Chain A
Amino acid sequence: MLHIDNISIDLGEFRLDEASLDAQPGEYLVILGPTGAGKTILLETIGGLYTPHSGSISIDGRQITHLPPKERNICMVYQDFMLFPHLTVEENIIFGLRSRKILADDAKKKALEMARLLAIDHLLHRYPDTLSGGEQQRTAIARALVMEPSLLLLDEPLSALDAQTREGLVKELKRVQKITKVTVLHVTHNFEEVFALADRVAVMNKGSIIQVGPPDEVFRKPNSEFIANFTGTENIFRGICSIESGMSTIRIGTIAIASRTCMEGGEVYATIRPEDILISRTPVTSSARNSLAGTITRITNSGMFVKLTVDAGMPIVSVLTRQGFEEMDLAVGDNVYLTFKAAAVHVF
């Protein structure tokens, strides 16, 4: 459906550097990345605001790289809504239909249908400045969807909303996307939105897309130190990989940990997500191949969870639920065991 091939553009402060990406019809693709990674420029280049210096963009095989925005049938929704303040909700929604010379009655009918789908049909005669943030964003989404775009671009659409409204709108976005089957590219910083909405996630950094895959894969099996850090993988180690007694082993200083995959003789990064590490006061007998003894050096309260840093020859972070932490009655200086499976060790 959408095929982006090595597009580059330099706008001074922001740039795209040979960014490539594909999206399938009806897919909900979330683009994740730090501030300044080039996420918004990528969307605006796809939408036709900027022409890339090199590379190409096509939709359903049609080259759109040099087409003006009006000929692309791609709609955009921004974080700050960009509703036209001089028009009512209804006039905002039918704005694009007027450009397509659709008869006024038909346009109004379509606007009403879309307003009903987004539960804003009672607001049609209101002006944007009288709406709540959530209502404004629903209106902006309705204004885009009523055009039946081949691609919907959402630039941090939920960032300006409070937590409760955001949660409601996440569900609404998923529901509406399933009904309309529109292909969506959604830029965000928020991991919750990734897991709630994305069929796949693309991670961007410094103008390039560096990993694309299902959210679980990207978060559990990052392909670079940057993504491991960015996705909150606390335990990132650098070691030497070897096969010892027929087992993949990674030596990190004096510690050896078993992994499933290995690149023999090479220097590798190994990551272990904190939630994959079992912490106990006594050694645990299980099929898990890795068991390390250590001492708790730090306890950090993160609301529902408690993060423990254990010195096991190298600092390893594990997490416990608050209830689990209270039941184990752990404190800094306690000796504990860390147990994790070889499969929990991701090597790249």
Chain B
Amino acid sequence: MEQYTNRAPEAGEDQLLRRSWFYYATIAASVILTVFLVLVLSLIILRPSSDALLASLTNSEMQFAVLLSLATASVSTLLCILIGIPASYALARYSFPGNKIINAGLDLPLALPPLVAGLGLLLLFGTTSLGNWLADVGLVFVFTPLGIIIAQFFVNFPYMIRIMRSTFSMINPRYEYVAKTLGCSDAQAVWRVTLPMSRTGILSASTITWAKGIGEFGAVLLLAGAIKWKTETLPIALFLNMSTGRLDMAVSAALLLILISVCALYVFERYGGSARF
């Protein structure tokens, strides 16, 4: 039987391929994309002088934005872990009525414009009795840092779900069954066997969710607003400073976001194992 693989050619192996115009055209496309990317990023990276950059980074407003971004992204990632991992496990392991619909539905925020997500959240927490009740018990999400967390959570949990769902699907359920015959309950089998075996997936999913959380703008803008010293995350700081013509501050915020993205990508590729989304 013919074997199909997605193996990339070994170094030098493709030297034997016959080269047509198609070969050069496809490589040219990848080079053009890389040049485009490098050009865009280098304009940001090379823009500020070292003095201006240092001044911006030591500016207290920028430090507030950094800390707020780190804190809100960390909390929203934690929420994604606590809720997304059990949900992904159920979707990967169990066959139940509505499984396919829920599977597809939970991916929807990936395709949804963040502004639409933000509008929905604003309507939920700002105009419904649920929102009013939550506000009465002290959970105010509209125009507060709590709103940033919920907006980041809503927009980014599909990344957690997708990566963890594929991670759990790749682990043979018989590992858990063996653990159960060795004295574990269902939950203990998952805790002692499946989760440790999923650690690269959990790391990747958390990294991507966290990085996406830090960069989230549209949904945060709609629900939490763009309020200086209150809901000013890095993307909001970039937006506010651009709006007021403080280009060095805006570029500094952009540089920090680029740095976080590069680090997240490195962690994902380096430690992510076979995790994919």
Contact = CB atoms under 8 A, between A and B. Distances in A.
Interface string B144-186: 0000000000000000000000000000101101111111110
Given A84-B175, A99-B188, A76 B193 contact: no
Interface in A4-46: 44
Contacts of B197: 84-86
Interface in A44-64: 44, 47-49
A194 interface: no
Contacts of B179: 84, 95
**Chain B's interface: helix, strand, loop or mixed, by majority?**
helix
Interface string A68-89: 1110101110101010111000
A137 B184 CA distance: 21
Nearest to A143: B182
A69 B176 CA distance: 11
A167 B159 CA distance: 49
Contacts of A99: 182-184, 188
A298 interface: no
A96 B175 CA distance: 13
B181 A82 contact: no
Interface secondary structure of A, over-half rule: mixed
A275 to B, nearest CB: 36
Interface residues of B, number: 18
Contact of A70 (B172, B175, B185, B193): B185
A96 B179 CA distance: 7
A147 interface: yes
Contact of A48 (B181, B192, B199): B181
Contacts of B185: 68, 70
Given A82-B172, A82-B175, A84-B175, A100 B181 contact: no
Nearest to A100: B183
Tell which of B180, B188, B199 has the most Cβ of chain A within 10 Å.
B180
B273 to A, nearest CB: 12
Interface residues of A, number: 24
Contact of B178 (A68, A72, A78, A85): A78
A74 B175 CA distance: 15
A8 B149 CA distance: 51
A69 B175 contact: no
B177 A47 contact: yes
B168 to A, nearest CB: 15
Interface string A91-105: 000011001100000
Contacts of B188: 99
A48 B179 CA distance: 12
Interface of B: 172, 174-175, 177-185, 188, 192-193, 196-197, 199
Interface of A: 44, 47-49, 68-70, 72, 74-76, 78, 80, 82, 84-86, 95-96, 99-100, 143-144, 147
Given A78-B178, A96-B183, A99-B183, 13 more contacts: A49-B177, A68-B180, A68-B185, A70-B184, A76-B181, A78-B174, A82-B175, A86-B197, A95-B179, A96-B182, A99-B188, A143-B182, A144-B181
The 6 A-B residue pairs whose C-beta atoms are closest, nearest first, are A99-B183, A96-B182, A69-B180, A86-B196, A82-B178, A69-B181
